[in-house]
Amino acid sequence: MRPTRLGLVVALMLVAAACGDDSSDTLPLGSTTSTAAVTTIPVTSTTAATTTTAAATTTTAAPTTTTLPALPPIQFLPDGIGFADFGDDPDSVIGNATGLFGEPSGDTGWLAGGFGDYGVCPGDFFRQVTFLDGKLMLMFSDIDYFLAGGIDNFIHYSYSGAAPITAGPPTSIDVGTTVAQATAIWPGATLEGGDPLYGEVFYFDPGPGYEYLFARLTGTAPGDTIEYVAGGVGCGE
């Protein structure tokens, strides 16, 4: 029997339906593929600022200590007073004395030499500076005893305190030193009693020049003592 036209149509439709059940992903020709646009968002990274504060450093310098040379010892000598020699300049002598005894207790300033309130004083000008409440006197002049004339310099000292200010014998005579001790230090010294101005005295004159050591005594016996001492040449009566 020959198939009819209707049967062919039905057969074709069944084939088409079978093809429609295919699970293939193949797109039919002429179809369009859409691609989704990708947007990139810039990322901003923020780093917190770091502040470093250095601790302040304080440096304290060690104190500077200046050690001055020790002053020479005080000695009553024919040519000076231990911490100063006759002929030394006034400023250095007064400076040394101030270091030992403190500020001066008196200062005449520069006075005209010759006859005056202090007796007959040497040079065109002289000056007396005192320490220890006037008990120690240092004298300066421009006389030519130890330097050429016209140069201010140290020429004389005297001490009349009640207590010694030196180390005493055997390196120096002082107030309270006995006659026996004084003559042992200065074997060539002279003792005299009845001096018209000073009474009993001790003095040592080393020779030509103006070096001179003098002391007023309580007496001339070995046990008598010194009560006033002087050196060099000062004002006279």
Per-residue pLDDT of the chain (237 residues; tens, 9 = 90+): 444 443 433 333 333 334 344 444 433 333 434 444 444 444 444 444 545 555 566 666 666 655 556 767 999 999 999 999 999 999 999 999 999 999 999 999 999 999 888 889 999 999 999 999 999 999 999 999 999 999 999 999 999 999 999 999 999 999 999 999 999 999 999 999 988 889 999 999 999 999 999 999 999 999 999 999 999 999 986
| 200 Cβ contact list (under 8 Å, min separation 6) | 191, 192, 193, 194, 216, 217, 218, 219, 220, 224
| Sign of the dihedral through C-alpha 211, 215, 219, 225 | negative
Residue 212 CA, chain-centre distance (Å), reads 39
- The predicted pLDDT at position 62 comes to 62
| Nearest residue to 145 via CA among 137, 154, 157 | 154
> For residues 78 and 207, what is the distance between their CA atoms, to the nearest angstrom?
10
Tokens 């305190």 correspond to what residue? Answer: 161
Global pTM value: 0.71
Query: Can you give the residue ranges of every domain in the chain?
Result: 90-232
Name, in order, each residue with C-beta under 8 angstroms of 152's C-beta and a sequence gap of 6 or more.
Answer: 89, 90, 125, 127, 140, 141, 142
